Amino acid sequence: MQGIDFVKGHGTENDFVVLPDPDGKLDLTPARVRALCDRNRGLGADGVLRVVRAGLVEDVPSDVDPDGWFMDYRNADGSVAEMCGNGVRVFAAYLREAGLAEAEFVVGTRSGPRPVVAHEDGHVTVHMGPVRIFGESTATVGGREFAGVAVDVGNPHLACLIEDDPSELDLTALDLTVPPGHDSVFFPHGVNVEFARKLAPDAIQMRVHERGVGETRSCGTGTVAAVAAMLHLAGKRTGESTVDIPGGRVRVGITEDGSTLTGPAVLVARGRLDPVWWSAY
Ligand SMILES: N[C@@H](CCC[C@H](N)C(=O)O)C(=O)O
């Protein structure tokens, strides 16, 4: 066995190991995902993006083209998630760089087809699909309860907006080294939790604790959820905002029937996994 090619990349410092697997031959077990993402015994990443033809994957939504590229996304803990906004941008950058896609194409995901536009400046716009507000709930951090809006961006989010109390404005003080408490009946499959505050009418700042990962430097679907929640609380259905996360800045647009996410996608390194290391997991 020759080893397995990989690419390492990030989108606003939400980092991924990209595994090209056009013929669907890789046996990507949860143990291998955990090892790859481990920052000591593996390459280190928030998640893995397997690049495979959609027709070779089970349980792909019926509206995804079987001949198109499919982003098989896994969280660092080995779990499967429906969608990853930063991941789609990195996935698109990989396909462009490999000469496998035009500047505009569609990425298949477990949440459905996601059209992308790769811009000359290295940014990528992803059409993130419809955003659905499905109620309100709370998150608990360090014994304090935060009200949040439940948002479905293909994956589940609880976006907590901290606006009114100046003593709560310091997002950096929140301890996200442990998962925020949440209502596991309301979110039976777990939840990504965002904490955001408004900087200006069209600018917010955000931190996130991701299901299956922990605190990350950015979460694309989370930024969309936070902007949708901010608009919802202001009684609006559409709008645009920048979102500053620890790893950089993205721009989010919410329309009547969809949403967009624009931000950078960076390919950092290419290499080959040692087959002995791979087979040990
Ligand atoms: N980082 C991602 C979201 C990845 C999936 C998430 N952790 C989940 O389990 O739903 C993004 O950029 O959207």
DSSP string, 22-43: TTS-----HHHHHHHH-TTTS-
Residues 205 and 168 in one domain: yes
Q: Supply the pLDDT for residue 171.
A: 87
Cα-to-centroid distance, 86 and ligand 1 (Å): 8
Residues 248 and 271 in one domain: no
Amino acid at 80: V
E strands in the chain: 4-11, 14-20, 47-53, 69-75, 104-109, 112-118, 123-127, 132-141, 144-152, 156-161, 192-200, 203-210, 214-216, 239-245, 248-254, 259-264, 266-273
Residues 253 and 137 in one domain: yes
Please say if 84 is a catalytic residue: yes
Residue 1 — pLDDT band, cuts 50, 70, 90?
low
E strands in 54-131: 69-75, 104-109, 112-118, 123-127
Q: 136-150 in b/e burial notation, b at 16+ Cβ within 10 A?
A: ebebebeeeebebbb
Residues touching ligand 1 (Cβ under 6 Å) are 14, 75, 81, 84-87, 155, 192, 210-213, 216, 219-221
Residues 98 and 172 in one domain: no
Residue 163 has pLDDT above 90, yes or no: no
Mean predicted confidence (pLDDT) in 152-162: 97
Domain that holds residue 208: 132-257
Residues 75 and 99 in one domain: yes
Q: Supply the pLDDT for residue 166.
A: 58
Give tens-digit pLDDT for 175-234: 999 999 999 999 999 999 999 999 999 999 999 999 999 999 999 999 999 999 999 999
- Mean pLDDT taken over the chain: 96
Atom of ligand 1 nearest to the CA of 86: 12
Atom of ligand 1 nearest to the CA of 83: 5
Residues 249 and 269 in one domain: no
Q: Supply the pLDDT for residue 3.
A: 86
This model of the complex carries an ipTM of 0.99
Domain count, the chain: 2
Residues 90 and 147 in one domain: no
Residues 60 and 156 in one domain: no
pTM of the model: 0.97
Note the helical H segments in 150-281: 220-233, 275-279
Residues 115 and 46 in one domain: yes
Residue of the CA atom closest to atom 3 of ligand 1: 84
Residues 110 and 165 in one domain: no
Residues 51 and 80 in one domain: yes
Q: Which of 72, 192, 215 to mutate to test the pocket of ligand 1 (most atoms within 8 A of CB)?
A: 192
Residue 130 has pLDDT above 90, yes or no: yes
Q: Which of 84, 159, 213, 225 is catalytic?
A: 84
Cα-to-centroid distance, 77 and ligand 1 (Å): 12
Residues 177 and 153 in one domain: yes
Contact 75, 87 (CB under 8 A): no
Please say if 37 is a catalytic residue: no
Spell out the residues 6+ positions from residue 138 whose beta carbon is closer than 8 angstroms to its own: 145, 146, 147, 148, 182, 183
Q: Supply the pLDDT for residue 208.
A: 98
Q: Supply the pLDDT for residue 170.
A: 80
Q: Which of 219, 226, 229, 245 is catalytic?
A: 219
CATH for 144: 3.10.310.10
Mean predicted confidence (pLDDT) in 22-33: 97
